């Protein structure tokens, strides 16, 4: 299986939250995954059936775009070691996905978007700056101007996860599964691009992230980081 994976100036620098979800999902299942570095301005390089973003996986003749659809595909075609477990788990994971993307992503963007830009290949930088500044309505440098304050709000936004971790080791119970990888991917993104540490080392969320970083022979821990 191959995955088109967002890369920075260093082609081994891989930090997309969505690609991290897919990478962890494949490791969970023991499905070997080869990655193809891809950059924002390589739109034409993606196989047919993409929507202009990564991850895109190619499995024989099948092309699947979108990390959520890839997870559903993996459970259908590689049923061992399920990512979801049952329909209700998949349903609830979809709510956790939307919680993650709507409550956590905007706050993370306002802490590290300038660091993301700094790590990109020079061919990607103008595209990234232009599209993100249009979305944010301000220069990247201004968007991250109050990041200590944003971090306080970010840590508050993690409260539901922190409360869960007082009762169990992983979102999915005693062992991690896809709902864990959703939130993990989102935390791996700032960790790979920025020296600005989002989590307090004493936070149970930090310990949970570390447990996931250490899994699958330290797949997450070994990630190349470019932290400015």
**How near is the Cβ of 61 to a second copy at its closest, in Å?**
26
- Asked if 73 is part of the footprint of a second copy (rule: CB under 8 A), the reply reads no
Q: What are phi and psi of 86, to 5 degrees?
A: -165, 170
The residue length of the chain stands at: 228
Q: Which is nearer to a second copy, 135 or 222 (CB)?
A: 135
Q: Which of 99, 127, 196, 216 binds a second copy (CB under 8 A)?
A: 99
Contacts (CB under 8 A) with a second copy, residues 167-206: 167-168, 170-174, 177-179
**How near is the Cβ of 80 to a second copy at its closest, in Å?**
15
| CB within 8 Å of 149: residues ≥ 6 apart | none
Q: Which is nearer to a second copy, 45 or 163 (CB)?
A: 163
- Asked if 228 is part of the footprint of a second copy (rule: CB under 8 A), the reply reads no
The CB density around residue 177, as the number of other CB atoms within 10 Å, is 23
Q: Which of 51, 102, 134, 137 binds a second copy (CB under 8 A)?
A: 102
- Asked if 160 is part of the footprint of a second copy (rule: CB under 8 A), the reply reads yes
Q: Which is nearer to a second copy, 12 or 168 (CB)?
A: 168
Half-sphere exposure of 46 (CA within 13 A, CB side): 24
**How near is the Cβ of 108 to a second copy at its closest, in Å?**
16
- Asked if 79 is part of the footprint of a second copy (rule: CB under 8 A), the reply reads no
- Asked if 21 is part of the footprint of a second copy (rule: CB under 8 A), the reply reads no
**How near is the Cβ of 107 to a second copy at its closest, in Å?**
14
- Asked if 85 is part of the footprint of a second copy (rule: CB under 8 A), the reply reads yes
Q: Which of 103, 203, 216, 219 binds a second copy (CB under 8 A)?
A: 103
The rounded distance, in Å, linking the Cα atoms of 223 and 218 is 9
Total residues contacting a second copy by CB under 8 A comes to: 33
Q: Which residues contact a second copy (rule: CB under 8 A)?
A: 82, 84-96, 98-99, 102-103, 159-161, 163-164, 167-168, 170-174, 177-179
């Amino acid at each position: 299986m191959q995955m088109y994976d967002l890369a920075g100036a260093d082609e081994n620098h891989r930090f997309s939250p969505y690609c991290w979800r897919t990478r962890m999902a494949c490791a969970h299942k023991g499905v070997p995954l080869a990655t193809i570095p891809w950059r924002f301005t390589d739109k034409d390089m993606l196989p047919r059936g993409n929507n202009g973003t990564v991850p895109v996986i190619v499995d024989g003749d099948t092309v699947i775009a979108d990390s959520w659809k890839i997870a559903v595909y993996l459970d259908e075609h590689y049923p061992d070691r399920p990512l979801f477990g049952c329909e209700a788990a998949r349903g609830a994971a979809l709510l956790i996905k939307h919680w993650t993307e709507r409550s956590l992503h905007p706050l993370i963007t306002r802490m590290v978007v300038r660091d993301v830009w700094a790590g990109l290949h020079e061919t990607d930088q103008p595209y990234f700056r232009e599209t993100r500044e249009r979305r944010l309505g301000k220069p990247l440098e201004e968007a991250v101007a109050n990041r200590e304050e944003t971090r306080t709000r970010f840590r508050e936004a993690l409260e539901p996860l922190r409360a869960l971790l007082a009762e169990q080791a992983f979102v999915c119970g005693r062992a991690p599964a896809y709902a864990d990888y959703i939130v993990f991917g989102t935390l791996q993104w700032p960790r790979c691009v920025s020296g600005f540490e989002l989590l307090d080392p004493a936070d149970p969320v930090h310990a949970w992230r570390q447990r996931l970083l250490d899994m699958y022979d330290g797949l997450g821990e070994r990630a190349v980081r470019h932290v400015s």
